[in-house]
Structure 1
Amino acid sequence: MVNFGGEDEKFGESKRENNVIHLHYQQRTTRKCITIIQGLPDDLDDKKLLRAFKKMFHCNGTVVEDEEKGLIIQLQGDFRKDVALFFIEEGIATKEEIKIHGI
């Protein structure tokens, strides 16, 4: 299991109660699409997480800071189910804390 947080941080139940991770699908052109991940906990290292996604899914991606929505990760391609499975296997979120949009 890879540590994507700070030093040896564990997620407290108080941090996870209101945290819902949203996975969106957005069509760019007729052949291209992106996966948008938002609502990640603040204690995750976004650069390590993006690097892991890019290596696992063989795609490109970026991290976007939005004032209103917070931290957003964008991946090229439709990887909503794969990202949800990754979060569950790594213990970052439970099945109830992940909302997949557009299925």
Structure 2
Amino acid sequence: MSSNPLAVQEFDPFADASNVNDSKQSTQSGVIHIRIQQRNGRKTLTTVQGIGEDYDKKKIIKKCKKEFACNGTVVDHPEYGEVVQLQGDQRYKISEFLVKVGIAKQDQLKLHGF
């Protein structure tokens, strides 16, 4: 009966669910939160949380620093994991950058602040 191409194959719902979840995580289906934080006086800090683990955040920072003419770093947050920090209000620039390089789609980005 195994030679019959129309034979019904067994369905394992847990195997399919795990494969679907793996593919979603690799395509960055999560939401990326871009926030602005007020520092002293007029100084601000832009934070980006939710970039997938398969991306090298230090390389992203290096490219952003050069393109936006600002300083930045990667901070290890106990609750949110690795968070990208950039000096100044870079919310719109970083959102355009993430879409342009293909890290996220426009509907995956969530801008917060003011």
Match of 2:31 among 15, 20, 26: 20
**TM-score normalized by the length of structure 1:** 0.83
Deviation at 1:13, TM superposition (A): 4.6
Q: Which runs of 5+ in 2 are unaligned?
A: 1-21
Please tell me whether residue 50 in structure 1 is matched to residue 64 in structure 2.
no
Instruction: Quote the Cα distance in structure 2 between the aligned partners of 1:28 and 1:37.
Output: 16
Identity of aligned residues (%): 43
Equivalent in the alignment of 2:85: 74
Equivalent in the alignment of 2:111: 100
Please tell me whether residue 85 in structure 1 is matched to residue 102 in structure 2.
no
Please tell me whether residue 35 in structure 1 is matched to residue 46 in structure 2.
yes
Structure 1 residues 101 and 95: alpha-carbon distance in aligned structure 2, compared to 1, 3 A threshold: same
Deviation at 1:31, TM superposition (A): 1.6
Instruction: Quote the Cα distance in structure 2 between the aligned partners of 1:79 and 1:65.
Output: 20
Instruction: Kindly name which structure, 1 or 2, has the bigger radius of gyration based on alpha carbons.
Output: 2
Deviation at 1:29, TM superposition (A): 1.4
Structure 1 residues 13 and 96: alpha-carbon distance in aligned structure 2, compared to 1, 3 A threshold: farther
Higher helix share: 2
When the two chains are superposed, the root-mean-square deviation of aligned CA atoms in Å is: 1.3
Q: Which runs of 5+ in 1 are unaligned?
A: 1-11
Deviation at 1:91, TM superposition (A): 1.0
Paired residue secondary structure (2:67): helix
Equivalent in the alignment of 2:14: none
